[in-house]
Amino acid sequence: MRSIVELPQPVIAEVDGTATAAGCQLVASCDLAYASDAASFGVNGIDVGLFCSTPAVALTRNVAIKPAMEMLLTGEMIDAATARELALINRVVPRGSLREVVNAVAAAIAAKSPLAVRLGKKAVYEQAGMSLADAYSCASRVIVDNLLAADAEEGINAFLAKRPPKLREA
Domain locations in the chain as residue ranges: 2-109, 112-161
Question: pLDDT by residue for the chain (170 residues), tens digit each?
Answer: 999 999 999 999 999 999 999 999 999 999 999 999 999 999 999 999 999 999 999 999 999 999 999 999 999 999 999 999 999 999 999 999 999 999 999 999 999 999 999 999 999 999 998 899 999 999 999 999 898 888 889 899 999 999 999 888 65
Bridge-based pairing state of the strands 40-42 and 18-20: parallel
Helix (H, G, I), strand (E, B) or coil at 67: helix
- List b or e across 71-85, with b for residues whose CB sees 16 or more CB atoms inside 10 angstroms: bbeebebbebebbbe
What pLDDT is recorded for position 129? 86
pTM of the entire structure? 0.90
Fold of 2-109: 2-enoyl-CoA Hydratase; Chain A, domain 1 (3.90.226)
The structural architecture, per CATH, of the domain 112-161 is: Orthogonal Bundle (1.10)
